[in-house]
Amino acid sequence: MPYCTQCGSEMAEAAICPSCQSPEPVPAPPSSSRYELKFVGSGAPMLWIYLVTFLLSILTLGIYYFWGRTRIRRYILSMTELDGERFAWHGTGGELLIGWLKALVVLAILIGQYLLFMLGLGTATGEVMGTIILYAGFMMLMPVALVGAWRYRFSRTSYRGLRFAFRGRVMPFFKLYVAGSLLTIITFGIYFPVFASKIQRFFCRHTFYGTARFDYDGKDSALVGPWLLALLLFIPTLGLSLLWFTMRQANYQWSYSSFAGARFRPSYTFSSYFFLIFTNLLLVVFTLGIGYPWAEVRGLRYMCSRLPLEGVIDFASIQQRAADATATGEEMSDMFDADAMDIGLGF
């Protein structure tokens, strides 16, 4: 019996066996490449999940809603790929339900005091007092809920078998958020792009993928000019200048954001985005809402396809951090770590 001349395994005729002929390819030295972000899902499976969710939600008096949301999220992430590999969602309906219950308690307290003021005093001052507390309460809860949602969402998302993690703490973000909101109000809105840039920095610098991290090195004041222009043109353009600014901001913020050393190369444009929104609107309206999943798919395709990365991501060197892999108990005990944001986002 002939043998492979290199490894000695049995062969039909003496030669070098296939596994020895093509040994494990030596990884090419890292050269700059392009990593495409893609959404490959389609409308029909999403519509199916939505309809099942809706039906079961009615039959279970709303309880199933959280599990349905989880299914949608799992579908969306499993249909999103970066460089040919898919993302995965590991959250559960139970976790969403708990987050919702936490939010409900807070919401009940806020609305309860409003009703007490309104009906109890029955006066205009009472109603004003109640309304002020209501809105101030919402404003203070916003940053807490945002951090909670980010922490929850990233910790439940994986890619190439590794988890993401958002490690921002509530207090620093709370300070950033309240200070930013107040400055925005005091400056009649001019401060807003600076505030948004600071949020993006906080968001990126605390978001991890295993041992790799996101980063943002944009200039906070860079978009003040475009923002003023958008405000000035708000009335003559019937508000479209805001849409233009949103795209300008997305382009700027993402092009100064990076992931594991590779830069985002966004190419959002006002005209393409406007076209997307307009056609999506027609799609939803003329199908009486049935077309909504297709509109969502088009939106996701647009957002992903125009956000490729360029540079070198050395996946072989990125490792799971032990803390992210075992943090379940610790994170669940965190009062703020819940996805309350989800409730307002529609489905």
Interaction site with another protein (CB under 8 A): 24, 44-45, 47-48, 51-52, 54-55, 57-58, 62, 65, 69, 74, 78, 85-86, 88, 90, 107, 111, 118-119, 122, 158-163, 209-210, 290, 315-316, 318-320, 325-326, 328, 343-347
Question: Which CB, 10 or 24, lies closer to another protein?
Answer: 24
- Contact between 73 and 49 under an 8 Å Cβ cutoff? The reply is no
On the 0-12 / 13-18 / 19+ scale of CB atoms within 10 A, 265 is middle
Tokens standing for 69? 């949301």
Q: Helix 224-232 crosses helix 240-255 at what angle (to 10 degrees)?
A: 170
Tokens standing for 26? 């030596």
Q: Which residues contact 323 (CB under 8 A, 6 or more apart)?
A: 165
Smallest distance from another protein to CB 319, Å:
5
Smallest distance from another protein to CB 343, Å:
5
Closest to 334 measured CA to CA, from 175, 157, 147, 204: 147
Question: Which CB, 95 or 251, lies closer to another protein?
Answer: 95
Smallest distance from another protein to CB 304, Å:
17
Question: Which CB, 160 or 205, lies closer to another protein?
Answer: 160
Smallest distance from another protein to CB 293, Å:
10
Q: Which residues contact 238 (CB under 8 A, 6 or more apart)?
A: none
Smallest distance from another protein to CB 338, Å:
15
Question: Which CB, 28 or 345, lies closer to another protein?
Answer: 345
Question: Which CB, 55 or 232, lies closer to another protein?
Answer: 55
